[in-house]
Amino acid sequence: MIGQTRAPTLLAALVIVGFALPAVLPHAAAARSGGSANAMKAIDTDNDGTIDLTEAQAAGGATFERLDKDKDGSVDTKELQGRVSRKEMKTIDPDGDNKIDRKEYDTLVADRFKAADPDGDGKLDAKELKTSAGKNLLKLIK
């Protein structure tokens, strides 16, 4: 008897999911793809549909200020919250104190910008921001 009562309940649940899932999936996809689009709107201050290095560094500067919780003019690995790999940290932190200042952060933003700009036109569009290099840049500027 127990197996017989579960079957209609399971069937009803599957029917409900079957009707609900198609309605939910487009919204989930839009939310996932909206990350770079939302970032673009926030960073693209001249509203030309692209991000140039000046805009990226301005956004990076705002992020740096937000991350610098103790306001000492540098961010350490804890404040960076995983935005910079250990390998990158060694490269941009020559004195090895596990802190980078604003100038070093700007240099890292510029390096990641160049990596995300394979055509070298000095501008990143939404497609370029969706690449691995583009996502790495977004970690620093949003």
Domain extent for 51: 35-141
113/59 Cα distance (integer angstroms): 12
Q: Is residue 83 domain-resident?
A: yes
Q: Is residue 105 domain-resident?
A: yes
Q: Is residue 12 domain-resident?
A: no
Q: Is residue 131 domain-resident?
A: yes
55, 44 Cβ separation under 8 angstroms? yes
Q: Is residue 97 domain-resident?
A: yes
Q: Is residue 64 domain-resident?
A: yes
Put simply, whether the predicted model's pTM sits higher than 0.75 gets the answer no
Place of tokens 């008897």: 1
* Number of neighbouring beta carbons within 10 Å of residue 50: 18
CATH number of the domain where residue 50 is located: 1.10.238
Pairing status of strand 74-76 against strand 99-101: antiparallel
**pLDDT, mean of each 10-residue run, the chain (142 residues):** 53 45 37 56 90 96 96 94 90 88 94 97 95 96 92
Convert 66-99 into a string of H (helix), E (strand) and C (coil).
HHCCCCCCEEEHHHHCCCCCHHHHHHHCCCCCCE
Q: Is residue 75 domain-resident?
A: yes
pLDDT at 96: 86
Number of structural domains, the chain? 1
